[in-house]
Amino acid sequence: MGALLCTGALLATASGPVTAADVSRQGQGASALQGDVLRPLDDVLDPPVQVRMDNGANNRTVDSAIQRGVDSNVYVWGRTGRGIDGVYSADTIGPRDREWPRQVEGLPEGNIRAVTAGIYNFNALDYDGHVWGWGAYSAARDGTDSVQDRDGRLGCIGMSVQPERLRVGSAWNGSGELLSGVQQISSTEMAGAALTGDGSVYRWGRAEYGGNPGVGDGCSKNPVGAQKVEGLPDPSIPGNRPVYLKGGYKTFWVLLENGDVYYWGGASTYERPRTPEGGTGDATGTQHVAQRSTVLNDWNRTNSPGAYIVQLDSGINLGGALLSDGRVLTWGTNAGRVGGRLPDDSKAATLRAARAPGVLPNVSGVVALQYTFTGAAMITSDGALYGYGDDSYECFPKWPGKATFCGGASYETVPGLLDTGVVSFSVGQGHIRWTKQVADSTTSSGLGYETWGQGYNPRGAIGHPVGTVKTKRLVEFQTAKKEPCTESRCDLEALLQGR
């Protein structure tokens, strides 16, 4: 457990570093990845930059971006209509589908502790320990699981409901008890999960994305709501308590106090590692019952007995794990999806090595990582933000960072430097956002914060112009008439960082 808590020591609040006790009070487990959005520091930071994580670590959206603001409300931008902003509308591009930030309606005002996003469905965790669901497609994906909306129209496909609290064993308007005592939430692309204070783990959503068996996007005659995940060891036994929950593309990952890794979910891609000998390893089909990761646990015991896995994440055909000593394990289908730790070679032996865990040699001192659709981003303790991948979605720079590629063809990269002086970052399906520290003479400390982003941007989820963009500040939101949005809600830095 001591090793798992090391990440928290690198986070900073206005009053100093976050301690294990702070993490416990936030109720977010040892990693603190899903904790509160931490306000800017009041005093000048001494080098190195102290990394703090925004509450944007669970974002699988494509056309939208979502995050909790400093006012404990939820904001969404990019594609916002058709229920994404919490307002039921049958319009696909109707009057509510605007690209500038808007507050999600229907959630308890000023009472949201964390938010997580699937592709078009969302969940929020309030300070009372309840989980809310809403979105633009199937109500099963966000756990509300109702076949009808408030007006009696079919809501099981094509539309979710407005924000409602999840129940165990039934739809939001059923007879099941409210899902309560929740401390962490996370999402894959089309399912969600929650970790409660007693160490129980619940899930909802499409079965092949880590949701409940038999649940898809069609109308369920027997809504199941949130269901407890089976296969995890008894959390009341010392060492067995889950402390970390993270959704990848189709796979959910859980870390226990004793360092063991468990997983469940779909496996149509290589987002779970295989063995060096070429065996199937952890990649054997969809798992509805949580399984202990033999590949990752065996690697840790054999290759790095003095370090422990503290974070995991995965995308399509790639995944990674952060070790407590700042090293990163990667795996994937080829050299481009493992950070270039192998030569660009299609020989069988190279592909086997890519699909098995291996240490990324190019970056050290990493304190947090997150995976996008087909790439990864990671930050070091001194505020250097790196990224790698094998396509153009995230616009990763080629090593050693001399050019940014936003074309359309695949290519191999090793981790390229995206920016320095970074204090936090988050990802979407194909974009990255980050906050960096800059000089600001208008503040008492002489420091300010700017929000930047780059990547796949079809509806303005990282600002304008839409499309695939290179690095830019996230303040260029426009109205439908293509005029700059000057409303206060368009100032992301104020909404998310506080000024």
Lowest mean pLDDT, pick from 176-190, 224-238, 417-431, 484-498: 484-498
What is the pLDDT averaged over residues 258-278? 89
- Pairing relationship of beta strands 467-473 and 447-457 according to DSSP bridges: antiparallel
Q: Per-residue pLDDT tens for 400-457?
A: 555 556 655 555 568 888 889 898 888 888 888 888 888 888 888 888 888 888 888 8
* pLDDT attached to residue 433: 85
**Domain 4-497, what fold?**
Methylamine Dehydrogenase; Chain H (2.130.10)
Asked if residue 12 has pLDDT above 80, the reply is: no
- What is the percent of the chain where pLDDT is above 70? 75
* pLDDT attached to residue 399: 55
- What is the percent of the chain where pLDDT is above 90? 40
Its pTM stands at: 0.87
What is the pLDDT averaged over residues 192-213? 96
Task: Report the range out of 24-38, 249-263, 305-319 with the highest average pLDDT.
Answer: 249-263
What pLDDT band is residue 480 in, cutting at 50, 70 and 90? Answer: low
What is the pLDDT averaged over residues 168-190? 95
Q: Per-residue pLDDT tens for 111-128?
A: 999 999 999 899 999 999
Mean per-residue pLDDT of the chain: 79
